[in-house]
Amino acid sequence: MIEITGLAKRFEVENPKKLSEQEKKDPRLKGRYFQSVRDVSFTCQSGEVLGLLGPNGAGKTTTLRMLSTALRPDSGSVTIDGQDVLANPNVARKKIGFLSSSTGLYGRLTGRENISYFGELYGLSKSTINARIEEMADLLDMQSFLERRAENFSSGMKQKVSIARAVIHEPSLVVLDEPTTGLDIMATSTVMEFIQRLKDKGTPVIFSTHHLDEVQALCDKVTVINQGETVFNDSLAAFSALSDGQMHKSFLKTLSTESQEKSNVVNL
């Protein structure tokens, strides 16, 4: 099980005077610091897919980067199968497969070489790496471009190689930050099928997205973040029931409910 409790992270603002009026009104801005994440908590069990939702700038990517140990939180805890991720980041990284919103492939290396390089970093043998690359090449439909340099890849090709690179070590948890953004219908379908295969294998998956149809198709749980705080954390059924199965309205309702609650506190 993956458990995230009370995560918080702030960043120093280099020049507050250059902020827009809208940015200055953000309640997360405190003097020279911007509290990107204030209080985020959720859990994900084995075999579950959790959809992480929120408006742009809500704190989703910062949350996922803390979960992946790329960022250290100011407070809060992250555990995977009872192991403290923050106390043992190197050990934890072996348990996590993380795909950021930027693929970051080495352009002069082929798709195979990009994946193989990360397999070697994880200490896998060459025979294991080759076997897993062949398996994922079939699952992600990569055989036609696996031997080509990454600098010539389309967005869909880059994303498929990046996903394969992230799971080459068969992690205990897969974290995907907007994995289908910018992909065409066929590439999106392939990525969705791959997430379903991870789910079928019992591997928990946490992925952020703006596409609610993906959430409806894949997710068991939904967590909504707004202005750096968890405003909804429950099952897909409970999320859908907020507006009689209309996912977009359910999402908007989680945001409006939070705003109304804050308004009621102020008026008391």
Q: What is the pLDDT of residue 77?
A: 94
Q: Please compute the mean of the pLDDT values over residues 96-117 and round it to a whole number.
A: 89
pLDDT score for 267: 31
The residue that leads in pLDDT, 222 or 95, is: 222
Classified as helix, coil or strand, 265 is: helix
Please tell me the predicted confidence (pLDDT) of residue 20. Answer: 80
Computed over every residue of the chain, the mean pLDDT equals 89
Give the pLDDT confidence score for residue 211 in this predicted structure: 92
Per-residue pLDDT band for 229 (boundaries 50, 70, 90) equals very high
Summarize pLDDT for 24-55 with one digit per residue, the tens: 888 898 888 999 999 999 999 999 999 999 99
Angle of helix 155-167 relative to helix 126-139, nearest 10 degrees, comes to 140
DSSP letters for 163-184: HHHHHTT--SEEEEESTTTT--
| pLDDT at position 7 | 96
Say how far residue 160 (Cα) sits from the centre of its chain. 16
Q: Residue 100: which pLDDT band, with cuts at 50, 70 and 90?
A: confident
Count of positions (residues) in the chain: 268
Q: Residue 244 in 3-state DSSP?
A: coil
Q: What is the pLDDT of residues 191-209, one digit of tens each?
A: 899 999 999 999 999 999 9
Q: Give me the domains of the chain, ranges plus CATH numbers.
A: 2-95+204-267 (3.40.50.300)
Question: What is the identity of the amino acid at 61?
Answer: T
| Angle between helices 126-139 and 111-121 in degrees, nearest 10 | 130
Are 73 and 7 a contacting pair, CB within 8 Å? yes
Whether residue 239 is predicted with pLDDT greater than 60 in this model: the reply is yes
Report the C-alpha gap between 90 and 69 in whole angstroms: 9
pLDDT at 260: 45
H/E element, 218: helix 212-218
Say how far apart CA 144 and CA 43 lie, in whole Å. 38
Q: Tokens at residue 48, please?
A: 């579950």
